[in-house]
Structure 1
Amino acid sequence: MLYFSPWKTVLIWLTVLVGILFAIPNLFSGATVQSFPGFLPQSKLALGLDLQGGVHLQLKLDREELVGHRLESVRDEVRRSLREGGIGYTGLSGSGQTVSVRIRDTAQVERARELLEPLTEAVSAGLLSGGIVQEVTLEEPEPALFRLNLTDQGIEYRMAQAVSQTVEVLRGRIDELGTTEPIIQRQGTDRIIVQVPGLDDPQRLKDIIGTTARLTFQMVDTSVSAQDALQTRPPAGTEVLYSADDPPVPYVVETREIVTGENLEDAQAGFDQRTNEPIVSFRFDGTGAQRFGRATQENVGKPFAIVLDNQVISAPVIREPILGGSGQISGNFTVEGANDLAILLRAGALPLTPTFVEERTVGPSLGADSIAAGETAGIIGAALVVAFMFLAYGFLGIVANIALVINVVLIIAALSGLGATLTLPGIAGIVLTVGMAVDSNVLIFERIREERAAGRSVIQAIDTGFQRALATIVDANLTTLIAAVILFYLGSGPIRGFAVTLAIGIVTTVFTAFVLTRWMMAFWVRRNRPKELPKAPVRLVPDGTKISFMWLRRMTFTGSAIAVIASMVLFASVNMNLGIDFKGGSLIEVQAKGDQADIGDIRSRLSALNLGDVQVQGFGTEKDVLIRVEEQGGGENAEQTVVTKVRSELEADYDFRRVEVVGPTVSGELARAGTFAVLAALFAILVYIWLRFEWQFAVGAIIATTHDVLLTIGMYVVTGLEFNLSSIAAILTIVGYSLNDTVVVYDRVRENLRRYKKMPLPDLLDMSMNQTLPRTILTSLTTLLALLGLFFFGGEVLRSFVAAMIFGVVVGTYSSVLIAAPLLILFKLRPGAFDRDQGEKEATSKTMPVDIETP
């Protein structure tokens, strides 16, 4: 095990070198990286919105709106077909997903069927979608009555088209804003995620995105005044539309569209040469120019309306025919307004009106503070862990610290190479990995100490220590990896970033602890030929401890049962402080432009806005204030109104550092997904432990882990900490950590069951607990040191997340020793279940020579 062939040595250090090369670009600015030679990696870690500021929006397209458009389209097609065929009809209407029409003359029914049949022809869904789709079916439930039904398959096909078209339109609009690397992607069947890093004007982005931008040119009906039309009824074929003026001016406009924005070839913002006012110049394509020219020839002296999303932008009078296919739109625009309208028209109209169901905005100043806090927490946490490892292991601790530094470098390299986005929870994942990465080294070093104490030589102790620690390392890290994978697939946004960081950290930890550390130990042994293991400056756990853990089991079972029941009762009777991720609403963080925020003034000003329950509290410094507004209950768009009102009320005196808005649809989905993620992780790990051990171990591990989860939830209820999306990440990480600890303990129990078949189970468990006690304490302390650095220096945003992690580490350590192990007695685990005679194998290994030759 301590021999490394030359090619293995080259491969190990080549991996480290590649990691360093991929990590190096993160130390330099973008301009410097661009000057690197072409053969060197140039990709850098992308910073999340919470680190560099920006806007995250989730949009939803309404299925009902789509069905309404399709009903109107089918109804118009039915009307046109029957009129062109000269067939009289009555009762043409649409309801639900059905258009109905009755034919007056029964002799024309067959002819009507022939005219309506083409509407039911299937359409090709494209090569990638596969096959054909029938959007409409025709039936005749009674003589002379036809019903055209929109199929669910057809609606899904149209919705998929609408989502794809919306993504492309939004990409065109946002690209025109000149932002850096926006992310626009489809999510599910009716959602779109938009992320724009570095943007400091979220309202402008929402205006650009939320505007349908359907442009039409329609004639104004001058035969009746707008006031008469409003008092009676507009003439047939007309409707009343209002202008964008203040107050709005009504116009009677013909519903017939002369030409639409689909015929636009270009639109540019400019200035009127006569008035020097901002305008938008446009140019039609050939079809549009022909239609517009013919309409203006026939209506000289009459006004026509330029309508954008059912609002009259302007209504000029046609002085002469416009035959060139171009014109201009004026309407008291600002320069920015004219530019935004030109962007909308160039990008095209959205097929459906999007609804904002989630918004998360982080200002650039808060992003800079988050980066600084993350760096400080990372440096302090790493320094504490490095110092602690040296005190606990001396020279071996230096070896572990070298492996730890390379481990962090490999994590950053992997994230950079994958193009992953580093978020604030991602930094938490790296800091947590720093604490947990030493666990594998601790396992190895404690094994080496045990083997040396058992009488083996230094070389044999090192070799055997690595061999016996391997299975434990794999089992312990795989349980955490299972939690990370499930977190990635069931989580969203920053939580997925945390899962990616944690998963990569687990892989790099196994490599650095078992491969790199083993190479360094082999190199040290070959160079120094030591006669004894290096001494540690501090020995936290004395050798040969004989604590009677199993004697305490009745007290620990009773205490834990009381605590778990109390947690469940509190959870059922006391309202948990749920964040907006789970109950909807708005969260706004502001910072006073002056020396100090006036919380009382903010509370009174917001109370006058009639927003329901508004909570205002200090947050961090005296200048920072956190505002929570309850869910409005008026649909998804009602939540956006809250932000608009609060912004207009406070923006003169306060900077908006962070805005989070979660509608009722998203909050319900997040609650279900979070619960399912925890249950799925527990089930997956149950199956894995069952396969690797016995059913008693699997059930014991799940009971102990469920105990930790329930107590953590109780901690949230008692302390009043906010339970949000990051809390789910914390609980799942606690699941992984607790199981990691439990698996290490169970692995030693399994090993001892094979060696001491006649030893009473309580005595065997006590021995196993005492053997793993140094590793348990050292791992818990290193993880806690990393988390304490994050808790005190990582910023307010992560404080509740890290507090749960600290509580989980303490409870997880307690449960793995005093709950999980004694459960094996309760389940009557039989030592005879392990019938392999491990003792003979170990006796053979004592006399086996060890080759330590290295190149």
Structure 2
Amino acid sequence: MLYFKRWQTILIWLAVALSVLYAAPNVLPQSWLSSMPSWAPSRPMTLGLDLQGGSHILLQVDRNDLIHERLTAARDDVRRILRDAKVGYTGLALSGNAVQVRVRDEAQREAARTALAELEQPISSGLFGTGSVREFSVTEQEPGLFRIAMTDEGLDYRLSNAVTQSIEVIGRRVNELGTTEPIIQRQGLDRVLVQVPGLEDPQRLKDILGQTAKLTFQMVDMSVSPQEVIANGGRAPAGTTLMYSIDNPPVPYVIEDRVIVSGENLVDAQPGFDQRTNEPIVSFRFDTRGATRFGQATQENVGRLFAIVLDGKVISAPQIREPILGGSGQISGNFTVQSANDLAVLLRAGALPATLTVVEERTVGPGLGQDSIDAGIMASIIGSVLVIVFMILAYGFLGVIADVALILNVVMIIAILSILGATLTLPGIAGIVLTVGMAVDSNVLIYERIREERRLGRSVLKSFDAGFERALATIVDSNLTTLIAALVLFLVGTGPVKGFAVTLAIGIGTTLFTAFTFTRWVVAFWLRRSKPTEVPKGFFRLVPEVTRIPFMKVRLQVFALSVLLSVASIALLFTVKPNFGIDFTGGTLIEVRAKDGTADTGEIRQKLLEAGIREVQVQGFGEASDALIRLGAAEDEATGNAMVAQAQQILSSDYDIRRTEVVGPTVSNELMWSAIIGVLVAMAGIMIYVWVRFEWQFAIGAIMSTINDVCLTLGFLVVTQIQVDLTTVAAMLTIVGYSLNDTVVIYDRVRENLRRFKKMPLGQLLDLSDNEMLARTVMTSVTTLLALLALYFFGGEVIRSFVASMIFGIVIGTLSSIFISAPALIFFNLRPTKGQLISEEEIRAGEARDLKTEAKQASAS
């Protein structure tokens, strides 16, 4: 195990060199990067929205709006088709999710059916038009009464098309804002995800994305007074609609339904200023068809008012003083410079095919992003220093080697994230810090095994060789269980949770390389050069070299206590209930910082209540100038978005909006189910892996231990009322992985001792295995807790609840590995427990025989 061929050495150091090379752009100044040769890596990690500020917005196509639009078009098609076929009809109207029409003459029923069959013709779909769908179905409800309804496949087709078109339009709108590297992608059948990093005005982005931007030019009906229509309950004459202007107060107009020209005929729109009044305006230019229709309409209607309508609201309604034949004009209104520019952006980008509703929003201001970076760096440095110092004190020179491997581990994670173009989030930093703690586990496993082999009488060189060889299987098993949890977390998680899963998974891979391959090479090099006569020792030991604690004697008492606490935790879930965050309940979270002085939570609450915003919770958060505001979930997404905008406007005069998270009721339900499924899938995957690697008794014991950890952690969350959100689910899955990691390490030693001591009673064997692994278990838990404590105290308020859950879970996971998973093997009768106990001398004699056998086998080979 300690011999390396030349090509192996070259590959190891090539990996180290490339890691340093690709990680360097993250710490080198930009001036250095620009002066480096073109072939040199220059791409740093991409920072997530929570680190550099920006907006994450999930938009959903309004199905009802899309259905209404398609049925309106179908109604017009029915009118045209029946007129062309010279079929008399009556009662043509929308009825629910369908169009209904009645044929007047019984003799024309067949002609109508034949003519309307045109609507059932399949339309091409799929890549290059290789597929086809039938958008409408035509049925005759009763003699002469035809019903035209959208098919499910037709609706899915239109939704898919609407999302595709929306992505194109949103891309044009966002690019017009001048932002860098926006992410715009489809999510599911009817949603679009928009992420814009570094955006300083998130509300402006919401305003631009939230408008359909359907621009039309329509005539104003001057034959009827708007006041008369209002007095009549808003019922306008046939062929007209009552609309209001964007003025304050709004002005009513009666608008003809006939569209003269639509925004589809625009070829350009630019902001500018009126030469006479110097007010902001938007100038526009039509294509040839639009210019012809607009010129003809203005020729025929000189002296009348025509309305410029955007999304059902009248922007302006000027009088036609003379024909406009040039195909260009201007839109004036109560514009500011920014609103004129935003309108020009919307018109140039084009209209959305359907209304988009914000169902989830997570916005972080640039100030909070910088604070998160500073907190993350500080926590990482402190956590790393604590672990480094601890390892040197515990293992002396071997601790120094472990620390070098640890630093290389972090460098490799950063390099891989940079190469992949992965996004580093605040939970991602937590994943790196956690990796720092857990990576030490592999070195601890190796070093404790080396010490154990030395105590058995092996030479120094043989001890090192056996230590690496025998620790390999345990290292692989323990890291694979954590990897399963990370993969499930990536598949079911969203946003920052995925970032945590990515860094954790990468950290597992780099740990296997640095702790086993790189450390082994360095140790082999040191052994050849120094030829030590003894294994280096540290300055202290947390656990004596040899312990004989009778864990199995108290197994029943501990198991009963554990079951009692687990049942109590489940009972608390249904009585007290956890403090669910908006990820699972829906609602709004707004973090603010007072511009001057201390945040007054009472004043904030009073202001919002006076504005009619109910279900308001305000609490201090982090520093005295910070406050966290939670608004209850609205009935629908549109109402919730309006409430958030109102709250932000009320607070903006005295407070900086640092972070906003909005989760609609639809998304919150999906997140709840994905979290539950994620935990169950992770546990099932790990159980299958343990079953395959060991035996079924081991798998059941591991799951019992894991269920205990999950139940007690849930109880901890209920008792402390720590907010439960998506990051808490990430913590839960990591606890599952960590607990199984610990359990598998002990199970590996149990399996080894089962082969070595075939007649030893199971209870004694389990005690022996637990005691042999106790030093490793304690050392790993301490190093991981050191890293997590640094995160808890210095990582910032945003991830404190996440880290608190992790700390509790790791303590419970360590105890359950000893007192739950191992005794379960007795309960499920892995081996008969009765028999004569084996003395300490017999155990040592058996180990000596094993050494002699190995020596003979080595000399024979």
Q: Shorter-chain TM-score category?
A: over 0.9
Corresponding position of 2:355: 353
CA distance in 2, matches of 1:170, 1:542: 64
Structure 1 residue 129: Cα displacement: 7.9
SS of residue paired to 1:631: coil
Matched, 1:266 2:268: yes
CA RMSD of aligned residues (A): 1.8
Structure 1 residue 94: Cα displacement: 2.7
What's the % identity of the aligned pairs? 62
1:270-309 aligned within 5 A: 270-309=272-311
Corresponding position of 1:726: 727
Deviations 1:41-96 (A, max 9, x none): 12111111111111111111121221111111111100111123322101223334
Corresponding position of 1:762: 763
CA distance in 1, matches of 2:176, 2:499: 28
Taking a change above 3 Å as real, the CA distance of residues 435 and 816 of structure 1, as seen in their structure-2 partners, is same
Contact 2:221 2:255 in 1 (8 A): yes
Matched, 1:502 2:504: yes
Mark the runs of 5 or more structure 2 residues left unpaired by the alignment: 834-845
Matched, 1:107 2:116: no
Corresponding position of 1:681: 682
Q: Alignment partner for residue 522 of structure 1, among 514, 521, 524?
A: 524
Corresponding position of 1:186: 186
Corresponding position of 2:855: 846
CA distance in 2, matches of 1:330, 1:723: 50
CA distance in 1, matches of 2:621, 2:165: 42
CA distance in 1, matches of 2:179, 2:29: 19
SS of residue paired to 1:255: strand
CA distance in 1, matches of 2:2, 2:800: 44
Deviations 1:341-380 (A, max 9, x none): 0000000011111111111111111111111111110000
Taking a change above 3 Å as real, the CA distance of residues 612 and 575 of structure 1, as seen in their structure-2 partners, is farther
Corresponding position of 2:35: 35
Deviations 1:540-590 (A, max 9, x none): 221221111111102211211121111111111103111111111111111
CA distance in 2, matches of 1:438, 1:521: 16
Q: Which shifted more, 127-136 or 676-685?
A: 127-136
CA distance in 1, matches of 2:293, 2:184: 35
Structure 1 residue 848: Cα displacement: 5.5
Structure 1 residue 844: Cα displacement: 4.5
Structure 1 residue 535: Cα displacement: 1.9
SS of residue paired to 2:489: helix
Corresponding position of 1:195: 195
Q: Which shifted more, 741-750 or 66-75?
A: 66-75
Contact 1:639 1:662 in 2 (8 A): no
Contact 1:463 1:850 in 2 (8 A): no
Matched, 1:613 2:630: no
Contact 1:568 1:714 in 2 (8 A): yes
Q: TM-score, normalised by structure 1?
A: 0.97
Amino acid at match of 2:773: T
Structure 1 residue 843: Cα displacement: 5.0
Mark the runs of 5 or more structure 1 residues left unpaired by the alignment: none
CA distance in 2, matches of 1:29, 1:263: 49
1:739-778 aligned within 5 A: 739-778=740-779
Amino acid at match of 2:380: G
1:484-633 aligned within 5 A: 484-632=486-634
CA distance in 1, matches of 2:851, 2:706: 33
Structure 1 residue 846: Cα displacement: 2.9
CA distance in 1, matches of 2:87, 2:851: 96
Taking a change above 3 Å as real, the CA distance of residues 129 and 36 of structure 1, as seen in their structure-2 partners, is farther
Taking a change above 3 Å as real, the CA distance of residues 507 and 831 of structure 1, as seen in their structure-2 partners, is farther
Amino acid at match of 2:677: F
CA distance in 1, matches of 2:479, 2:583: 30
Deviations 1:205-232 (A, max 9, x none): 1110101100001111222222233334
Contact 2:456 2:848 in 1 (8 A): no
Corresponding position of 1:236: 238
CA distance in 1, matches of 2:660, 2:859: 62
SS of residue paired to 2:243: strand
Amino acid at match of 2:673: R
CA distance in 1, matches of 2:614, 2:311: 31
SS of residue paired to 1:541: coil
Corresponding position of 1:664: 665
Amino acid at match of 1:16: V
Q: TM-score, normalised by structure 2?
A: 0.96
Corresponding position of 1:369: 371
Amino acid at match of 2:145: L
CA distance in 1, matches of 2:543, 2:171: 60
SS of residue paired to 1:530: coil
Contact 1:456 1:846 in 2 (8 A): no
CA distance in 2, matches of 1:128, 1:746: 56
Q: Which shifted more, 600-609 or 3-12?
A: 600-609
Structure 1 residue 831: Cα displacement: 7.4
Structure 1 residue 102: Cα displacement: 1.6
Contact 1:586 1:642 in 2 (8 A): no
Contact 1:689 1:698 in 2 (8 A): yes
Structure 1 residue 97: Cα displacement: 3.5
Corresponding position of 1:321: 323
Contact 1:93 1:100 in 2 (8 A): yes
SS of residue paired to 1:798: helix
Structure 1 residue 303: Cα displacement: 1.7
Contact 2:687 2:700 in 1 (8 A): yes
CA distance in 2, matches of 1:504, 1:779: 20
Q: Which shifted more, 457-466 or 169-178?
A: 457-466
Amino acid at match of 1:58: L
Taking a change above 3 Å as real, the CA distance of residues 130 and 787 of structure 1, as seen in their structure-2 partners, is farther
Deviations 1:725-751 (A, max 9, x none): 110000000000000000000010011
SS of residue paired to 1:378: helix
Contact 1:239 1:253 in 2 (8 A): yes
CA distance in 2, matches of 1:153, 1:274: 55
Taking a change above 3 Å as real, the CA distance of residues 850 and 678 of structure 1, as seen in their structure-2 partners, is farther
Matched, 1:226 2:226: yes
Contact 1:459 1:850 in 2 (8 A): no
Corresponding position of 1:789: 790
CA distance in 2, matches of 1:18, 1:332: 59
CA distance in 1, matches of 2:229, 2:101: 30
CA distance in 1, matches of 2:34, 2:849: 61
Taking a change above 3 Å as real, the CA distance of residues 55 and 624 of structure 1, as seen in their structure-2 partners, is same
Amino acid at match of 2:699: A
Corresponding position of 2:423: 421
Amino acid at match of 1:435: G
CA distance in 1, matches of 2:427, 2:660: 18
Contact 1:444 1:465 in 2 (8 A): yes
CA distance in 2, matches of 1:30, 1:153: 52
Structure 1 residue 511: Cα displacement: 0.6
Contact 2:430 2:500 in 1 (8 A): yes
Matched, 1:12 2:21: no
SS of residue paired to 1:506: helix
Corresponding position of 2:56: 56
Corresponding position of 1:47: 47
Amino acid at match of 1:656: I
Runs (4+) of structure 1 moved beyond 6 Å?
837-842
CA distance in 1, matches of 2:86, 2:706: 75
CA distance in 1, matches of 2:606, 2:337: 36
Contact 2:456 2:847 in 1 (8 A): no
Corresponding position of 1:447: 449
Structure 1 residue 613: Cα displacement: 2.3
Corresponding position of 2:841: none
Contact 1:754 1:838 in 2 (8 A): no
CA distance in 2, matches of 1:227, 1:31: 67
Corresponding position of 1:134: 134
SS of residue paired to 1:328: strand
Matched, 1:89 2:98: no
Structure 1 residue 682: Cα displacement: 0.3
Q: Alignment partner for residue 479 of structure 2, among 477, 480, 502?
A: 477
Structure 1 residue 640: Cα displacement: 1.7
Matched, 1:342 2:344: yes
SS of residue paired to 2:297: helix
